[in-house]
Amino acid sequence: MLSTVTLLACGDVGPIHEPVDVYSELASPVLAGADIRFAQVERVYSDRGALQLHSNGAHSRLKPHMASVFTDCGFNIVSLASNHAMDWGEAALLDTVELFRSQGIQVVGAGRNLREARTPAIIERNGVKTAFLGYCAILQTGYAAGPDHAGIAPMRAHTYYEAFDYQAGVPPQVVTVPYKEDLAGMIEDIRAAKTVADAVVVSLHWGIHYIPRMIADYQTTVARAAFEGGADLILGHHAHTPKAIGVDQGKVCFYSLSNFIMSSTAKSPEKALAFEKRYGVELDADYPHLAYGADAKRSLIAKAVLARNGVQRVCFLPVLIDKHLRPEVLRGGDARFEEAVRFMEWVSEGFDHRFTVDGDEVIVTDSSGR
């Protein structure tokens, strides 16, 4: 019989409110059933560092003990490639890397230099080797790792504005193109990882936050290049709302897994109004500390069954974050489960996919069912 490994992958984790031990109560029994558990780290955990002048991330450094949320969930692999990872400079980032490693959690996407940030983590279970790589497209100046300085593995994009109409004042069309050097580096990393692992999973902190359905041009370009380079699965996050699931060349890209365990500062009425106007979304008054839009409470867990010959099966588990900011894995037959599937169908319009409900899971294939 072919040996297999089960991966459960979650989106952004980094609550800023205590106590943190309650957040995992509903989801940890489900996570415990996996061989590998992945999450995206949204904060840094350190007592050191200085807030960077061009950062808006005063909330992004937390006391080290608050990282216990990751061990509570049993995560054994995380990506630190986020837009906030360097908000407090190199010292805070490297403290966070070492903290996770001291807890037996492998780290990708960040390091003391670019080589380390681009080095895969390889986890072997049941004779199956899975390589993980992590990159970030949302980087402030100076956040990317370099040959001789710490930082994040970059997968950046240029933004251009093209005239959409000959009439003055018509909004332009926004065009985004990945940095050639970052794309080439990612492909090189994937190909190298493929020579030593049975499956390669790429984590990407990317895209456009808060706004449902909106996918930037560069994301589909990067996804296709990653799959052509040998990646077997893409795990996206950053948007704070679920986004499309698409199948390309028989491989699945989760464009945004949304929040998993997150909290934020509550917005004043003035800031809430400005936020809603800017992004065209409404905030949910029942979730003052999840102030990313009404869809921020929607989430999902990506599930993949891996074997020596690659990915055998991909599905997702619909998740709803409750008013205590605890992710609850929904069950088939629950009206909330059915509504979550409808939402994922809506955000995935225009991407090749077929969703098939199988008990408590939603199987993802291409439109032909393969």
Q: What is the pLDDT of residues 290-329, one digit of tens each?
A: 999 999 999 999 999 999 999 999 999 999 999 999 999 9
Classify strands 61-62 and 44-45 as parallel, antiparallel or unpaired: parallel
Q: Is the pLDDT of residue 35 over 70?
A: yes
Q: Rounded distance, CA 135 to CA 164, Å? A: 32
**Which pair of structure tokens corresponds to residue 207?**
């895209």
Across the chain, what does the average pLDDT equal? 97
* pLDDT for position 56: 77
* pLDDT for position 268: 96
Q: Is the pLDDT of residue 2 over 90?
A: no
Q: How confident is the model at residue 55 (pLDDT cuts 50, 70, 90)?
A: confident
Over range 60-84, report the average pLDDT. 98
Query: Under DSSP, is residue 190 helix (H, G, I), strand (E, B) or coil?
Result: helix
Q: In the chain, pLDDT over 90 holds for what percent of residues?
A: 95
Over range 212-229, report the average pLDDT. 97
Q: Rounded distance, CA 346 to CA 106, Å? A: 35
Peptide bond connecting 15 to the previous residue in cis, omega within 30 degrees of 0: no
DSSP letter string, 139-150: --TT-B-BTTB-
Q: In the chain, pLDDT over 70 holds for what percent of residues?
A: 100
* pLDDT for position 53: 83
Q: Rounded distance, CA 130 to CA 166, Å? A: 51
**Which of these, 245, 189, 249, 190, lies nearest to 219 by C-alpha position?**
245
* pLDDT for position 164: 87
State pTM to two decimals: 0.98
Of the chain, the end-to-end C-alpha distance in Å amounts to 22
Only one residue has tokens 């009425």, namely 269
Query: Under DSSP, is residue 233 helix (H, G, I), strand (E, B) or coil?
Result: strand
Over range 1-7, report the average pLDDT. 90
Q: Is the pLDDT of residue 1 over 90?
A: no
* pLDDT for position 370: 85
147-191 pLDDT, tens digit each: 999 999 999 999 999 998 889 889 999 999 999 999 999 999 999
Contact 309, 198 (CB under 8 A): yes
* pLDDT for position 71: 98
